[in-house]
Structures are given as C-alpha cells and as structure tokens.
Chain A
C-alpha cells in the first residue's frame, strides 16, 4: 500500500492535467495505480451461488436443483446473489465556484479528472457507471450501464464545459434520488460550499433508496485557510456579489465560520450514514483514488457481499454441500 507521505510515488496533479484527453488521463492514473496491486482488476465477475434452501410450495420449480434431487431425492432450491455488478452514480458539481483554483488547475478540472478516473477504474471492474451533473440549469444524467461505448459517452459528458452559476446541490441530489431506480454507490464530487442543512433531506432520500453515499469534497487550500494578498474587493463567483474585505481582519472570522460549516457537514453526513472525504487540489489524484476505494470498501460492509469479497466466496462455493442443511 502506498503511503501518503511519500509524494514521489504519486503523479503531480498539475502534470497529469497536461494530458488533454480525459480518457487518457484516467487511464494513466488507474494503470499507474493498479501497477502496485497484486490482483489485476481486469478479471470479471460471474453469477454467484449463495446457498441451498428447502423447497416450499410456491417456489418456482425451475429453480429446483435437479441434480441434487437426483442424487439425494430431496427438493432443494439454489439461491444466487441478486446482482453482482455494482452500480455507481457519479454526481459532479459544475457550479461556478468550482472554477476557483490555485492558478495551475481548478477545482472543476480536478473533480472532472477524479470522476473520470473513478469511472474508468470501475469500468474496468465491469461496474455500471452513471453520471449526473449538478449545479447547472440543465443538469444531465447518464444512467449507469456497462456496455460498449458507454465509457466514451461518459467521458464526453464529463468533458463538457459548465455553464452553471449557482450550485443547487440539494435539488440535483433529490433529482438523482428520483432517477436512480436501483441501489448503488453515489459519489458526489463537489466543494460543498452550500448550506449544510439543505443537504440533509436529499441525503435522506438517497439513503432511503438504499444507496451508499460518499461525498468527495474538493477544495483549494486557500479556501481552507483564506489567503488573500491584500485588501481588495472580493467578488462571489456564483452570485457576482462584491464585498470589500481586509484579509487580516477577516481571516480569523473566515476560519471560524469555515470550521463551523465543516463540522455541520460532518454531523449531517454522520446522521445520514454518508461518508465525507475532503481532498485539496494539490493532492495527487491517484492518492485520492486510493482513499476513495478504501473508503468505498469500508462502506460496502453494509452490503451482504462486497465486490472483492464475493470473488473469494465464489471460489469457496465450489462445494455446495458445505452449506447444505
């Protein structure tokens, strides 16, 4: 496992942003990331056997294990995993505030690349990936699929320029909750510069649908500790409102309010059973991906069978008798 402190193991985000093609960028990161893993992600999944249970009247006779009936003269029904492929919904915040950056890259570029990387990684795992853009007047939704050309379509959608102004994440998430028919993993990539309370209800909708929710917060370091060079008029990127700010006077206050906001976010995520993970745009992307995958792995504990764990259990299921009653 790579360590966070060891920067040279990871690729500099500014350097990776030099690659123009989003697909290539994602591929570079994922392949670099998987080079250190023992197991290749290129292995696919199969339909998984779960267990036997006695036949009761009303069961479909097609599910009877005829071979077992022939062998033991008892009626058993084979049970399988309901769905083995994970559905992942990527919700990308495209509001104007995401256009803020550190000069070399913006939060939006970072979020775009992160989303593409994640999508590519999951695509390699044969998971179905859907994308929804939030924070624009015309949010777009690409339902999760795993088919030929879907990844290109997805990359194309992510590459589109945003025309958003005021991010209305709550509305976007509520809409996603309505559109997602089957449960899966919802990853929201946003700076979450909005009223935390407004997220409480949409997160509830998503959790109510059975989704696992991961909030991936992308920030610029200047937003955390508020660094401005001198007294100046500060213009809100979303509303266009202007404010005269003296950084020396405002810094303490800003930090205090920012931390309060963060605490509120953590609290709401805790109450709704969602995970919050904050990355800054100077962090390497593959490190962020690693964090993400490990977080997703922890979260999948709530599911009956996780993706990696199911692969192992598939091997164990070779002898059904072991679980026979």
Chain B
C-alpha cells in the first residue's frame, strides 16, 4: 500500500473534533431573561466531571467518516513493483562558467565555485559534463565533441578538476555572443551525433549576471527550444559598486576612447583632469574618496571626499596631476578591483615638414600657405612646417626618420638632386609638387627638360617624359586607387565623391607601360595626378598639379588634409594612436613576437598575461605597461573594462525576454523522485481507491444519521 499525498494524513487530526464535542457539556436549557448582566460574566464550558463519553456509537461513526475522508485525500494505491522501476538515461550537460572581470570579487568567485560543485554533485553517474568558460570569448575547457567517447564519471571528475583550476580573468563579459556560440555548438554536435531532433540539452550557466553584461546581442537570435538554460547566480556578500572614468580635459584636444567607451587615460601633465564617478543603484554607502596615487598607494594629502547617493553620478575636477602620480584611486565601495584608473604620460614626438619652393607675391599662391594652415599635428605627433632655402636642404635632410620634404621644382631645388635622392634612399618621404607651368627662367621654375631629367633620376624611370598638361577648361579626377593607403580613408561612399575637385592646370608625366612607378590617381585625360615611387627605404611622391587656388581647388577641399597626411607621413596610420586600452583590447604592434612587455616598474610581465596575434597583442590584466619595439618604447595603460564595473545584479527573467528557455536543472534525486511520482500517479489513477473510500464514507454517514434520529426519538 502506498500513498500519493501522505501529507493529507494531517487531516486525521480532525478526529479530535468529535471527541471534544462529545466531552463538552454545554447544553443550556432554554433562555432566561434577566434584568441586567452587569454583575455576570460568562461561565466557561465544562467538561463532564466523569469524563465519560456519551453516545459512543455516534462518536465512532463520525470519527470513522472523517477518517475515511482523510484516507481518500491521501490517494492510497496498492504497490505493484513491476511498475515502479526507475532507470534514467544519462544526460549531456554543459557547464558554462563566467570568468569575466566581475568574477574577480573573491566572494563571488567562491560562490560560483560552490554553485558549480553543487551542480556537479547533483548529477547522476550516467551524466556527462562539458565545461566551457565565458568572458570576452567562449573557451572550451572540456569540449562537447569529446563527450561521447569518455566515460560519464571521467567527464565529471575532469570537469571538477578543471573547474577548481579555473581562475577569473579581467576581461569583459560577452555573454550574448557566448551563449549564441554555445547553442550553435550544441546544435551542430547533436547533428553530428545524429541525435533525434528534440533531444533535450541542459546548459548550466554560473555567472553573476550584472548589468554590464550586454544581453542585447541575443535580440533576434532563435534560441533552440530543446536547450534548457539553468542560470545559477553567484552574488556578492556586499552589494554595490562605484566606478570611475576619466573625462577629457577641455583643452586636451579631441577625445579618444577605448573600444568599450571608457575615455582614455592620457591625462596631459598640465591640463586639469575631471573624473566621472558613478555609484551603482544598489550601493550601500554614499561616502567615497578619490585620490591620486602611485604604485605604492594613495599620495598623502591628495584625497577628495565625495558623497554620491546610490544610482547617481558626479563629475569631480581633480586639478592638475601631481608629478609622481600615475593613477587615480577610488576608495569606499564594495569592490576595489575596478577602482584604479591608470594614467599615461604621453610622449609627443615632433616631425618636421621641410618645404622648399617658390615664393609668390600673393601669400595664398604660395604652396606653404596651405601647408601651414592644415591641422596636421595630433596629440602624439607634432608636425611643424619649415620653409627653407634650397641650399639648406642637404643639412635639413640628414635625419629622414623625423621629417618629410615638400618640394617645388625650382632650379635651385633641382641642383640638390643628390641630397634629395640620398634622403629618399635612407627612408625619407619626398613630395614633389609640379605646381606651376615649367617656363624657362620664370619664377625660378625649372625648364621641362631639367625637370624631366630630375624626375628620371628621382623616380629611377629612364623612359619618363614631362610636358604641360592640355586642359581646355578644367580636369577632373577620373581614376583613383582607393586601395592605396592615401585614398583608403576616403573610400567610404560618404567621402569618395571627388567630382568637385577641379584642376585648371597640371603637368603631364608620361610613363612607359610597364613601370615601377605606381599611378595612384589620374585625371580624366588619363594623365596621372599622383605618382608613387619606392626608392631605397623611402618613397617619392609626384603630384602633377598644385593646390594653390589658381591651379586647383584641392587646397580648399576637405580632402586636402587627409590626402596630404597620407603623403607626408605614410607611416602615420600604422603608428599607434591609442595609449589606453581595456583588458582584452587588441594593441596593434609592428611585430608582436618581438615586442617586450614590462610593467611600470620595468619588470617582465608573465607571458600568460600577454596574448600575441598576427599584428597585435592583448594584455590580460589591468595596469601600466611599457611596450618595447626595437628602439621605440611606449607606455600604455590597460584598464578594467567599464562593463565589468556596472555590477547591479540583473534578474534572470531578462534572459527569458530574449526567448531563452530558462529552467532549473533537475538533480538526480529529484529526477528519480519525479519519475517515481509519475509512476505512482499512474498506478493510483488506474486503481482509484479513493472513490471506494468516499462511498464507504457516505454509507457511514447514512448509518450515523439513522442512529442519531433513532436515539433522539
């Protein structure tokens, strides 16, 4: 005999009712009127002194009726062992552990490990476990495709070991991408294992699921219906976090930002810095402290107290940076891991653009006029235009790494042909602008023959000829090589309209069919506008038209600065422009294998923290680092991703809003119990003993009614 709902046995307590009612003697014989009850108080009902039960048969019948009802509610059934065998098939369970920066909170990570151990402990011996971790990308620790070939308990054992060795990283959480990849993996694995469609898969995600996790990526993703996601949320002992980011000083030029939006921590030494401090909405405290710090800790006397209510933001001016400070530290919130903002002292290099050419009566007719007006300097590179006389060229052109030269082919310039060629051979960049018609002895511009000879030597193209370009009205650019680095920035359809650039005069340089000299852009009459020739380590540009207003409207065009930048500093796009990165950002370097990464104190960084790719490296922990590439040494700051600082826990139901089937993973015991319960219910519904019990109860009640009536006669 078994019971389906044994808790209803408590209803048998109601048997005490009839016994009590039979014991109580409280039978007032009629009602008596009395003048006033003011001197009376109610008498409690009394049990008979003899404690003897009257009407014993009635009492027994009533108790029996109640007992039968209670047993009927317990849904009894007769056991049949052949129905109650439970054998459960093994499951494939994917354990996905969040190892992002926010899991660095020690109590959260401990909680996560406890949850993972709990999940592994609840599995049956037939279940197989795959283990993945998710931070910036999905990492397979025990991949799905190996599962079929491994014994179930071996996978559980391996998963437990791998889980215990796992450590959180400092990277951001790309949970949406990770879940999508994992779902795709599971689907493709079930196809390759030729599992029947609709086979249930279980994914257990252990994460802190904070508000910095970007779930928007799941929008539009069709989550497979047969994958059940069980989210176990690891929570910190103390909620609330504050985080800080640097606002660019007003006079510090255009702002830069890292890939995840935290402004760079360049912090020029002289500009006043402003810091944005945000307190999470679940923060417990409101008192925070900002201080300048160095590697040894906060600098004494440089702290700023803040009162920020939960959920609010304050912008704090911190003034000028003290000379020894290289970071800003926030104190007073629940987690200190993200409270340091590293600052880099930028090193600004200077590059000279040496101009040598004609001098015109009208200043705007001078090529150097537009050169000087163009904003060519950036935060990291200062470019100054220096106009020199031709005889100074040899001395100016001695260091080709730090300068470029812009030339107009005057006779005096042509005389310095050897110096220019040597400059180009050693790696310099020379731009020869054929800005004016080559008329003999006029304005000092060299004649065509001299120019042709000069160009042949410079471009190392003996079959080159130069003539004045034939232009009826004006020429337009017809063919532009947008794959070339000079025009590549302008290749976007928003910027690649060159039809408004008009050239009223230009020189025609004729090149042989097979030439080393590359034509980057040419006019509609097929005459080249821009020629590029590699020479030694350097390169030579020939622009066959000038940018002064009488020759063209190039100088007035918005395209002038990007083109000129590409010409005078071709390496610029390769030069790193960024000084601050988030953990996991790609840092472009020229040769990743040769880059030496050291800490701010010049100690080597653990190689596990540096990931080297084809053209870039990644750093896996926050801090200040030095990158040494050959002779060039630069400092970068690596910050905790800002998304890992927004730590208000999200509701798991948010995942359901994106169509993910969220549900609890059944433990082995519960699975067995639920299967058994289903079998019991089936057996009980076949036998339906409760109906007979109710019939018996009705019979008892009929007898009771009859007996009561008979006795009262």
On A, residues with C-beta under 8 Å from B are: 97-98, 100, 107, 191, 193, 220, 223, 226, 228, 230-239, 241-246, 249-250, 253-254, 257-258, 261
Contact = CB atoms under 8 A, between A and B. Distances in A.
B56 to A, nearest CB: 24
28 contacts: A97-B35, A193-B38, A220-B35, A223-B35, A232-B29, A232-B31, A233-B28, A233-B30, A234-B31, A234-B34, A234-B40, A235-B31, A235-B32, A235-B33, A236-B36, A238-B35, A242-B31, A243-B37, A244-B42, A244-B43, A246-B46, A249-B43, A250-B40, A250-B43, A254-B39, A257-B39, A258-B39, A261-B39
B30 A232 contact: yes
B633 interface: no
B31 A233 contact: yes
B558 interface: no
A244 B33 contact: no
B32 A228 contact: yes
Contacts of A228: 32, 34
Contacts of B35: 97-98, 100, 107, 191, 193, 220, 223, 237-238
A236 B41 CA distance: 12
A244 B26 contact: yes
A246 B49 CA distance: 15
Interface of B: 26-43, 45-46
Contacts of A244: 26, 28, 42-43, 45
Given A245-B42, A254-B40, A237 B28 contact: no
Contacts of B36: 97, 193, 236-238
Contact of B43 (A223, A237, A246, A261): A246
A257 B27 CA distance: 26
Top 10 A-B residue pairs of the complex, sorted by shortest distance between their CB atoms:
A100-B35, A97-B35, A246-B43, A257-B39, A193-B36, A236-B37, A233-B28, A233-B31, A232-B28, A249-B43
Contacts of B43: 231, 244-246, 249-250
Nearest to B37: A236
Given A231-B29, A244-B26, A237 B46 contact: no
A6 B553 CA distance: 149
B32 A233 contact: yes
A51 B34 CA distance: 57
- Tell me what chain B mostly uses at the interface: helix, strand, loop, or mixed: loop
B33 to A, nearest CB: 5
Nearest to A248: B43
A235 B32 CA distance: 6
Contacts of B46: 246
Nearest to A193: B36
A300 B656 CA distance: 98
Given A244-B43, A245-B43, A246-B46, A234 B29 contact: no
Given A232-B30, A233-B32, A245 B38 contact: no
A230 B29 contact: yes
A253 B44 CA distance: 14
A250 B31 contact: no
Contacts of B28: 231-233, 244
A237 B41 CA distance: 16
Contacts of A223: 35
A249 B30 CA distance: 18
Given A236-B37, A237-B36, A238-B36, A243 B42 contact: yes
A234 B40 CA distance: 9
B321 to A, nearest CB: 85
Given A233-B30, A234-B37, A243-B42, 4 more contacts: A228-B34, A234-B31, A244-B45, A245-B42
Contacts of A258: 39
A237 B35 CA distance: 5
- Tell me what chain A mostly uses at the interface: helix, strand, loop, or mixed: mixed
A231 B48 CA distance: 14
A243 B34 CA distance: 10
Nearest to A260: B39
A235 B28 CA distance: 12
B41 A250 contact: yes
Contacts of A233: 28, 30-32
A223 B32 CA distance: 13
A238 B36 CA distance: 7
B154 to A, nearest CB: 78
B116 to A, nearest CB: 67
B604 to A, nearest CB: 95
A286 to B, nearest CB: 25
Contacts of B31: 232-235, 242
B456 to A, nearest CB: 130
Nearest to B34: A234
B495 to A, nearest CB: 97
Contacts of B38: 193, 257, 261
A100 B38 CA distance: 15
A254 B43 CA distance: 12
Nearest to A230: B29
Contact of A253 (B29, B37, B41): B41
A38 to B, nearest CB: 41
Nearest to A236: B37
A237 B34 contact: yes
A241 B42 CA distance: 12
A294 B443 CA distance: 158
Nearest to A101: B35
B33 A245 contact: no
B40 A241 contact: no
B657 to A, nearest CB: 61
Which one of A97, A223, A231 has the highest number of Cβ atoms from chain B below 10 Å of its Cβ? A231
A239 B42 CA distance: 16
Contacts of B42: 243-245
A79 to B, nearest CB: 51
Nearest to B30: A232
Contacts of B37: 234, 236, 239, 241, 243
Which one of B26, B36, B42 has the highest number of Cβ atoms from chain A below 10 Å of its Cβ? B36
Contacts of A246: 43, 46
Nearest to B38: A193
Contacts of A226: 39
Contacts of A235: 31-34
Contacts of A234: 31-34, 37, 40
A241 B41 CA distance: 12
A236 B27 CA distance: 19
A217 to B, nearest CB: 12
Nearest to A220: B35
Contacts of B26: 244
B39 A100 contact: no
B439 to A, nearest CB: 131
Nearest to A261: B39
Which one of B35, B38, B40 has the highest number of Cβ atoms from chain A below 10 Å of its Cβ? B35
Contacts of A237: 33-36
A97 B39 CA distance: 14
B40 A243 contact: yes
A253 B42 CA distance: 11
B394 to A, nearest CB: 126
A233 B31 CA distance: 5
A253 B37 CA distance: 12
A242 B34 CA distance: 10
Contacts of A231: 27-29, 43
A241 B36 CA distance: 9
Contact of B34 (A100, A230, A249): A100
Contact of B33 (A100, A191, A250, A257): A100
A249 B46 CA distance: 11
B179 to A, nearest CB: 71
Contacts of A239: 37
Contacts of A232: 28-32
A228 B37 CA distance: 13
B28 to A, nearest CB: 5
Nearest to B26: A244
A37 B707 CA distance: 74
